[in-house]
Structure 1
Amino acid sequence: MDTHTHVDFSPPGPRGRRPRRTAKALTAVAVVAAVAAGGAYAAGLGPFAAEDGPEPEAVAQARAFLADWSSGRLPDAAARTTRPDRARQVLHGFTAGLDIGRPRLTAGAPRDTGDGAVTVPFTARMPVTGLGTWTYTSALPLREQGDGAWKVDWTLSLVHPRLSDARKFRLDREETAPVRALDRDGGTLSADSHPSLAPVLAQLAGGPDGGGPRGAVRLVDRGTGEVVRTEASFGGKDTAKDDGPVRTTLDATWQSAAERALAKAGGKNASLVALRVDDGEILAVANSPASGFNRAVSGTYAPGSTWKIVTSSALLLKGAVAPDDVVDCPRYLTVGKRFQNVETSEHRGATFRKDFTESCNTAFIGLRDKLGDGELGDVAKKYFGVGQTWHVGVPSYDGSVPLPRDATEKAASMIGQGRVQANPLIMASVTATAVSGGFHQPTLVAGTEDTTATTPLPQGVVTQLRALLRATVTEGTARVLSDLPGEIGAKSGTAEVSDEQDNNGWMVAHRGGVAVACVVEEGVTGGGSAGPVLHDLLAAVPAS
């Protein structure tokens, strides 16, 4: 797609740097949004301490621009520039034309340019649907306007340094031969028999190395269409040679049940994973819609309250809380911003067990000082393998729990918000680890490499976690599963995305030797959206 026509744009001339405004004014404007694909979170950015550093107003505007672009709020991002109409057109053309999902844009250290302007470099991670991630660096120029406001000084090169009036980008996809795949019992799997496997089978086309389908982002001359250079290449070896069918760990019965269950998502984007607790072998991977992005394995989402399994593990591991301890659950709690419970519920005088089963955000946030700033991430990595490199057999996103940048972000991470990122594969694995005590790298193809290193959870912690998950089904927010046979344990989750979108709904569960996880985008609540999906899935498969 041609994202540009002739631009007649002359940037304003240099302006002298205005004196610093008062601390009160700085504090009022220094607000940033830290955003990742699948979620958004607002936090405060205090004024810079150094008097000769870049203007905080400029830095805040740059970060807000990146946050809006990341979340797909292109009109808002464009409004922060000197040419809103043109910026909106180009940003839309760039992402839509190159089939880019939700970008991950990370700001670097700002710097004064010496001409009254400020530059904020950033790293762009652009997920090209069905292929992989295109990573590059660019920079935002910012200039103070006549009314004293700072804006992004619009130019094509801020989107990508090589985008210009003369050159644009083009996405080329190469056709790959359909992979022949077998389930764990030797039965044939195909997109005809299991439509939801289409993105998975496309990724399997590259073999166990996860090469997947092939393609490239190319820089081309706008006038002639000739390729100037290849910016990014995706895919593995040439798959023209048929090396025979790929034997997977998938179970046709579970896969069919998973695909039927996703019909309960009501047409919303949704995905789920089912895997074996004792070895991590994946039994089902289902995505709705059935074509396109494999969000179940490669998606990035805030896991919301399903993450309280990891938070509870961290608290129980150090004896910071016990299930029968009283941990008050107020309606609101302010830590830089106001946090609340779903439907602003409260449970005064509640035990930690009640807080878990009713998914009380304020109670968990109230325990934040029981953990060190990096402790939640350390527990996630050490015991649950989250953030380590997984070799699943197809490209996967393996989770992230960054060190909180301030008290507000630490509070958010306690409830699976902020910059904590996961997907159904990760949360199914987290559930399996919690109820068995041992992490097993999830696998879709036999013989994949395992480079992870984890420590087993103590049996006492496992016993407590199993009891909490079971109580959530019998008396808590996962009661939607309570009529099913077998001793089911579960945890619901509601994850905030942005002010413009409804919350994502989550639910994880385990029964017998299988753990499952489901996310429904804009499902509002976990019990109301992901819950019915998992209910239908578990009702259709054996309870043992």
Structure 2
Amino acid sequence: MNGAAKGAIIGGVFLAMLGGAGYGAYTLVADAGSGSGGDAKGATTQSAKGSGPVTDQEAARTAKAFLDAWAAGDGAAAARLTNDPQAARAAVADYRAKASVSKAVITPGASTGATVPFTVAAEITYGGASKPLAYDSKLTVVRGATSGKPLVDWQPSVVHPQLGKGETLRAGAPATPPVKAVDRNGVELTAEKYPSLRPVLDQLRQTYGAKAGGRAGAELWIEPAAQDAPKRTLLTLAEGEPGLLKTTLDAEVQAAAEKAVARFPEASVAAVRPSSGDILAIANHRKDGFNAAMEGARAPGSTMKIVTAAMLIDRGKAGVDQPAECTKEASWGGRSFHNLNNFDLPAGATFATGFARSCNTSFIKRIDDVRDDAALSKEAREVFGIGLDWKTGVRSADGKVPAATGAAAAAAYIGQGQITMNPLNVASLTATARTGRFHQPVIIAPDLDGRPIARAERSMKPAVAQQVVRMMKQTASSGTAAEVMGTVRGSDKGAKTGSAEVDGAGSPDSWFTGFNGDMAAAAMVEGGGHGGDAAGPIVAAVLNS
């Protein structure tokens, strides 16, 4: 990189490693900060005021000056070479004082346009313990809008590529001891073996570390911006003594879930035990690392028909063997609703067949019979436990089924409109239908911390539960889920498919839920299309585990 290929080393002294981890070239930006901003005096290596995109030469010179200044221990000079000197200066100081970086080697690479990659080989020293920390990063040079000078675009990820907005590096003895999380059979659960569990394990440590009997060691971690967010350990400097924490998870089911979601982008799955509510697996395959399986909130599509069917049967407005007209279209509240590909069913088709074929119109045509705008919301809360503030042991989002009128009520009957769910919520719907009784999902037994567990107001009437299960079994044997569920071993199985239209999306979200014996699972693939196309194979793989 134009003579900047040598690493800068200062043994035992703070070394400049302020490389920006801005990913990709940036367009013109205004200088941030107050006072001198990125135009501060002393930036003698900067070029005169320019215009247009930053050139390769300007990017190389600015990056070299920046890394040299940091390598020389001149944090002020390094900060002046960025477009946010105030934030940069604080981060440089914290890197030494609070992250305990005792020395570092920074080796720039060849620039690609305005982006300059570099490698960092640092040493973290705290409490008499030292360990190396190595990683790759990159910085991007942009032109200051007011000065025209090339400046390093400052981002939190400049300090470390995993840092987000408001996050910092910290070294020391963490407030919570490490935990050794194990599954229901005593098998250890680690983020290395089960990557989807990383955010869950971090939360378990934060919540239960002090209760599990461990002893803290020394670590380097990422301090989150939000107070209730868990710390993320980057490096263990001195081993603590982990406390033992038993979860409800099942390592074999978790392994199958991890493998299944890896087949599809933006995929999530959850599995629970209907007889107890124990969460058996949580897995996600997403670019953003978000635990959508437990915290997501998306329209669940026709998987919601499990609740709608139970409500209609409960109120005597439908029955498995009763006729249920399934036309190509139906209107309600000034809006027209149609079935997938505008299909219809022959005259005399039963409600069970409409459920198994996922006929929207056979459900919407019954709204007028119910005459209660809050009927679906009541059924969801009173029987299925939706919206009762689940305390699973880690962060989770409750499903929402608000009362609605007009077209919104019709949309709610088929899992659209204002209804939101995540795979854990939908897996619980299936579990409740399977047993006729709601068991709030948990990942940690409530007797560990005495937290309250949500309890539904009433159980499902036996006759209602029998009919809903019968319809789910028909869906699995001869309905929209037949192809997928044909791959699931066993005979005690049922399912429901779903696809949910999302505004602005080119393809609907794919939803699928099913049970097999004493296991219920649900999956969602954003933009995955029909329920059986993407979410279905994920659920089948989990149920077969």
Q: How does the TM-score come out when normalised to structure 1? A: 0.62
Q: Give the structure 2 partner of residue 204 of structure 1.
A: 204
Matches within 5 A, 1:526-541: 526-539=531-544, 541=545
Q: Aligned equivalents of 2:286 and 2:526: distance in 1? A: 12
Residues 297-346 of structure 1 deviation map (CA, whole Å, 9 limit, x = unaligned) = 01111111000000001011111111122111111222222211112211
Paired residues of 2:495 and 2:515 also in contact (CA < 8 A): yes
Q: Give 1:292 deviation, angstroms.
A: 1.5
Cα distance in 2 for partners of 1:491, 1:312 equals 12
The answer as to whether partners of 1:196 and 1:290 remain within 8 angstroms in 2 is no
Aligned partner letter, 1:271: S
Distance of 1:452 and 1:516 partners within structure 2 = 20
CA distance in 1, matches of 2:242, 2:339: 53
* Other-structure match for 2:339: 341
Q: How does 1:201-350 map to 2 (within 5 A)?
A: 201-208=201-208, 217=225, 233-235=227-229, 244-265=243-264, 268-289=265-286, 292-335=289-332, 336-349=334-347, 350=349
CA drift at 1:210: 13
Counterpart CA distance in 1 for 2:182 and 2:410 is 45
Which runs of no fewer than 5 residues in structure 1 stay unpaired?
8-168, 218-231
- Name the counterpart of 1:360: 359
Q: 1:505 aligns with which of 486, 501, 510?
A: 510
Question: Which residue identity lines up with residue 466 of structure 2 in the other structure?
Answer: T
The alpha-carbon deviation at position 485 of structure 1 amounts to 2.2
- Of 489, 492, 500 in structure 2, the residue corresponding to residue 485 of structure 1 is 489
Q: For the Cα contact (< 8 Å) 2:301–2:414, is it kept in 1? A: yes
CA distance, structure 2, for counterparts of residue 496 and residue 209 of structure 1: 41
Secondary structure of 2:499's counterpart equals strand
Q: Secondary structure at the match of 2:167?
A: strand
Deviation per residue, 1:491-535 (Å, 9 max, x gap): 000111113331001111111111111111101100111112222
Q: Percent identity?
A: 38
Work out whether residues 202 and 231 of structure 2, in 8 Å CA contact, stay in contact via their aligned partners in 1.
no
CA contact (8 A) 1:210 1:395 kept: no
**After TM superposition, where is structure 1 displaced by more than 4 Å over at least 4 residues in a row?**
1-4, 173-179, 208-211, 213-217, 236-243
The superposition leaves residues 399-434 of structure 1 with CA deviations (integer Å, 9 ceiling, x where unpaired) of: 111121x30100000001101111111111110101
**Larger deviation: 297-306 or 198-207?**
198-207
Which residue is equivalent to 1:453?
A: 455
1:388 positional shift: 0.6
Counterpart Cα distance in 1 of 2:351 and 2:398: 29
Deviations along 1:194-236, one digit per CA (max 9) or x if unpaired, are 122122222223225999x98565xxxxxxxxxxxxxx63337
Q: Is the Cα–Cα contact under 8 Å of residues 332 and 340 in structure 1 kept in the other structure?
A: yes
Deviation at 1:188, TM superposition (A): 0.9
5+ residue gaps, structure 2: 1-21, 33-163, 212-220
Give 2:454's aligned amino acid.
Answer: T
Larger radius of gyration: 2
Q: 2:191: which partner in 1?
A: 191
* Larger CA deviation: 283-292 vs 471-480: 283-292
Matches within 5 A, 1:379-528: 379-404=379-404, 406-447=405-446, 449-454=451-456, 455-479=458-482, 480-486=484-490, 487-528=492-533
Deviation at 1:386, TM superposition (A): 0.3
Deviations 1:361-400 (A, max 9, x none): 1111111123310111111011111001111010000111
User: 1:263 deviation in Å?
Assistant: 3.1
Cα shift at 1:291: 6.8
Instruction: Quote the Cα distance in structure 2 between the aligned partners of 1:502 and 1:334.
Output: 23
8 Å Cα contact 2:439-2:455 kept in structure 1: no
C-alpha change, 1:437 and 1:338, in structure 2 (3 Å) is same
Q: Higher mean Cα deviation, 270-279 or 347-356?
A: 347-356
Correspondence for 1:172 among 156, 167, 170 = 167
Q: Which whole-Å deviations, capped at 9, do the CAs of 1:223-269 have from their partners, x for residues lacking one?
A: xxxxxxxxx6333799998661321111111111111122332xx20
Query: Does structure 1 conserve the Cα–Cα contact (< 8 Å) formed by 2:383 and 2:437?
Result: yes
Matches within 5 A, 1:76-87: none
Bigger CA drift: 275-284 or 347-356? 347-356
From the superposition, tell whether residues 394 and 214 of structure 1 become closer, same or farther in structure 2 (CA, over 3 Å). farther
TM-score after normalising by structure 2 = 0.62
What is the alpha-carbon root mean square deviation over aligned residues? 2.9
